[in-house]
Amino acid sequence: MRIFDEVLEDISIHIASHEPEKGGIPFGPDGRDVIALFVPDETAVTSSVTYTVSSAMSEIAPRIEKETNLEYKGVVHSHCGSMYHPSTGDGLSAANALKLNPHLGRFFLPIVTVD
């Protein structure tokens, strides 16, 4: 997966510079392994150990796809520094997202670790 530098900067500002669990949605050109846009999920449901995509983001994502011709690629979110891999809940959420989006061949699920 290729990620634009601007996207990495946005992820750093909106996720890595905050306490876990923060997140957002990456978008990129349809059918390509490129991330060209990151949209932070400011109204996500979170705790110190969980991140759940907000209903607002679930409504915004299809609109972004339509208006920009970019495709929803997955979910980016943070964990504490010792949890550098997706949790069981993350895996279940990714599987559900793929069921809801059968046009996606894969689901991008990077974890940003924050100490």
Global pTM reads 0.90
**Over the stretch 40-53, which tens digit does the pLDDT of each residue have?**
999 998 887 888 89
**Over the stretch 63-108, which tens digit does the pLDDT of each residue have?**
999 999 899 999 999 998 888 888 898 999 899 999 988 888 889 9
Q: What is the pLDDT of residue 80?
A: 86
pLDDT tier at 27, thresholds 50, 70, 90: very high
Q: Is the pLDDT of residue 115 over 80?
A: no
Q: Where are the alpha helices (DSSP H) in 1-115?
A: 5-11, 55-68, 88-100
CB 27 within 8 A of CB 5: no
DSSP state of 19: -
CB 111 within 8 A of CB 77: yes
